[in-house]
Amino acid sequence: MTSPRVLTAEECVRLLGREGVARVAICTPVGPRIFPVNYVCEGGDSIVFRTSPSSTLGTFAWGTEVAFQVDELDWTTSSGWSVEAVGRPVVVHDPVEIAELRGHGEPHPWAGGSREMFIRLRWKEIAGRSVGTAPLPQEPRDLRPADEDHSALSWHDRRKDHEGP
């Protein structure tokens, strides 16, 4: 067992930049809540996720402090890392900004539906820790199943061609 290591701000930003799925913790009048979201990282100083204006996140996840957390934890080796970014998110209203976000093709909510509210968190604090002996990931994330042939198609094509679950 090793002592937890405090990550540098640079390490935190790099790990957050791997994107994927995070959890947003918010304060509501009836206590804290946590929701998973998929997100994109922009410019090394903010993240953006989408929700519906009528959802709990759409109601309480902006204009007040939220905590945004990502981790990769491996039960088999008791290793992993966690990064938490804290700040006061804003709703993105600017059509140009929204068009740019859409142009990047992300973040697309997996659940689909009318999740038309873009929320941006420009964090004021970022902190992280790692435990265990496994090295921090250096490469961008690769979501492909390990047993797939990676050679022939681009990732995007492969997903398009996939027949589904």
Query: In whole angstroms, how close is the CB of 24 to another protein at the nearest point?
Result: 8
Task: Map residue 103 onto helix, strand or coil.
Answer: helix
Query: In whole angstroms, how close is the CB of 106 to another protein at the nearest point?
Result: 7
122: its two tokens: 């420009």
Give the nearer residue to another protein in terms of CB position, either 138 or 154: 154
Query: In whole angstroms, how close is the CB of 131 to another protein at the nearest point?
Result: 5
Contact residues toward another protein (CB under 8 A) are 1-4, 20-21, 23, 25-27, 30-36, 65-67, 69, 71, 73, 75, 78-80, 82, 84, 86, 102, 105-106, 108-114, 116, 131-132, 141, 143-145, 156, 159-162, 164-165
| Cβ-count burial 74-100 (b if 16+ within 10 Å, e if not) | eeeeebbbbbbbbbebeebeeeeeeee
Contact 32, 41 (CB under 8 A): no
Query: In whole angstroms, how close is the CB of 78 to another protein at the nearest point?
Result: 4
Query: In whole angstroms, how close is the CB of 18 to another protein at the nearest point?
Result: 11
Give the nearer residue to another protein in terms of CB position, either 35 or 120: 35
Q: How far apart are CA 112 and CA 51, in angstroms?
A: 10
Task: Map residue 150 onto helix, strand or coil.
Answer: coil
Give the nearer residue to another protein in terms of CB position, either 33 or 120: 33
117: its two tokens: 């509210």
Instruction: Put residue 54 in one of left, alpha, beta given phi > 0 → left and psi -120 to 50 → alpha.
Output: alpha
